[in-house]
Amino acid sequence: MRKKIYQLHRRLSIIIAIPVLLWAISGFMHPLMTNIRPAIATQGIPSIPIDTQRVRFPLAEALRKHHLDSFSNFRLVHIDTNWFYQVQPLAAGDGNNIAGIPVYISCTNGNILTAGDWLYAQYLARQFLEGAADVQPPPQIASPHATSPDNDSSSSRTGPSAPHVHTASLPNDAASLLTAAVSLHDEASSTHDCCGAATESVLNPVKGAKVANVSLVKAFDNEYKGINRLLPVYRVSFDRPDGIRIYVETTQDRFSFAMDNRRAIFDEIFRLCHTWGWLDFLGKGRLAVETLVALAALLTTVLGIYIFFTTHGARSNGNGLVKARRNHRYTAIVASLFTLLWTFSGSFHAFSKFTDDTRDRYFAAPHFAAGMANGDCVRLQSVCARPITNMSLVQMNGDNYWRVTLLPEKAAAHKDLMKDAKTAPPPVSYIRAADYSVLAEGDARYAAYLAGTFSQHPPADIRSVTAVTSFGDEYNFTDKRLPVWKVSYAGGHNERLYIETSTGKLASRVDDRSVVEGYSFSIFHKHHFMDAGGKTARDVSTMFWAFMQVVLVTMGLILWFRRRNARKERSLLS
């Protein structure tokens, strides 16, 4: 029996040796990757109060002007000192706007900003990469003989100069949507041309690297992986030696991901060696292979532990084979606990991936008539009694509410979300559109409403609604979104839904059954049991025990080769 266990242990060890080495080496690299990320200035855009002097053209009137009878939502954004309504149109056919490209309408004159989302993505990306630029006063009105930015002196025109936009560099869907809109300049105007000024400020920045390429990303790929969660986003590449590209979500002014040429090399190695991207052609078959190999490594470790405790190691006395066996024996028993932990958690994690992640299917899809866009910023600010930084519309229990974001009393420090793992939520008020009355605890109520819509649980089943402003073991960095609300239910195996009210989306959904895998992977595989010592302690622990796996396999291979050579020598002598 013991001989058969020896044989099985040796055979399994040879089968799993290379896969385990790939996992261990790439696992050792992972903490390094998180510390060689591209350097950017910030991961957040500072909130500023809405400039009511520039919000002069009512949105409802602007929508009628451009024959937009309905919309999914809107909010206000600024490019330099120029303010725009960012309007989410309804996608044709299904009534949701998830893939829709926002339309940007001037708050000053109601004109559409051509290629607005394409421009705004560049504006955001530059803010994240280089920091907020000093806001300059509005540019002076162009002279009647101003020339176009393409330096064609023969093409003079009356009024402000129109920026030169290369529509060939736009994403196809953005170009088709925005080219069909009205021209950047409907007519000559004697007032400040905010569309031209915004375009000029983006396309011709006074400092910093030039933008090399802008593309709309609607699906995850080898560089922008599913772990980043957010879609759609824009990929903004800068003309720099490091080839840096910044991924931004324009509908939330949100930084998503940064990649440069150096990190791309590490990232590709990790994709091939750790998540086995070279098996992607198998689809979910890749998960089956990973699960089986990890389980084989788990079984091999269990057999090795059994062999250690049921046998006694002999002294080497100069025998190279015996020495190699002793080295492997004691290295293996030291590393075995963590080998058990990562093989168990890794196989469990891979197996859990067979269940599709459906969180992106759950989101609020409101439908508002153009006449609903009649919010009065001054009145809303008066009701809230503090400066407003943004506003949007939500539907809840048959009523429409203005979701008003207020200026925080203390400016938020936009640091590194991966390292800090927390954020400071802005204050939010919900104002009933019908009579401008304030809804008490509006954000929590909206979270509970969305959770009930997504889960179909009755309100009576809600046990608690809690604000979540930091990542933990259950809701961790892989979930990406902060701040969110945790809505806990008494039924459905104590189901918990994490809701991002700013987008009306489901951020995560867990219960007592599914959370076991999350804790297993977080604690056993990613060493979050070291969190008390901070990220550095966790990284050191991960790298040390990954290195021990490398040593363990290397010692085992040395033993195998020495044993094979010894057999060959005996065969030749006989």
DSSP assignment of 358-379 equals -GGG-B----EEGGG----HHH
Residue at 117 is within a domain: no
Residue at 70 is within a domain: no
pLDDT of residue 412: 66
Crossing angle of helices 2-35 and 285-310, rounded to 10°: 120
Q: Say what the pTM is.
A: 0.83
Residue at 263 is within a domain: no
Residue at 363 is within a domain: no
Residue at 353 is within a domain: yes
Same domain, 545 and 494: no
pLDDT of residue 173: 47
Which domain does 498 fall in, by range? 442-503
pLDDT of residue 79: 94
pLDDT of residue 144: 30
Residue at 464 is within a domain: yes
Pairing of strands 70-71, 73-79: unpaired
Distance CA 362, CA 376 (A): 31
When divided into structural domains, the chain yields a total of 2
Below-50 pLDDT ranges, the chain: 93-99, 135-191
- List helix spans (H) across 417-533: 417-420, 442-455, 514-520
pLDDT of residue 134: 55
Residues in the chain, total? 574
Residue at 472 is within a domain: yes
Same domain, 284 and 324: yes
Look at residues 465, 485, 503 and tell me which one is the last residue of a structural domain. Answer: 503
Cβ-contact 108, 56 below 8 angstroms: yes
Same domain, 353 and 274: yes
Same domain, 279 and 352: yes
pLDDT of residue 528: 82
Distance CA 266, CA 293 (A): 23
Residue at 258 is within a domain: no
pLDDT of residue 385: 84
Same domain, 346 and 283: yes
Same domain, 547 and 498: no
pLDDT of residue 91: 65
Same domain, 493 and 540: no
Same domain, 542 and 492: no
pLDDT in tens, 329-339: 888 888 889 99
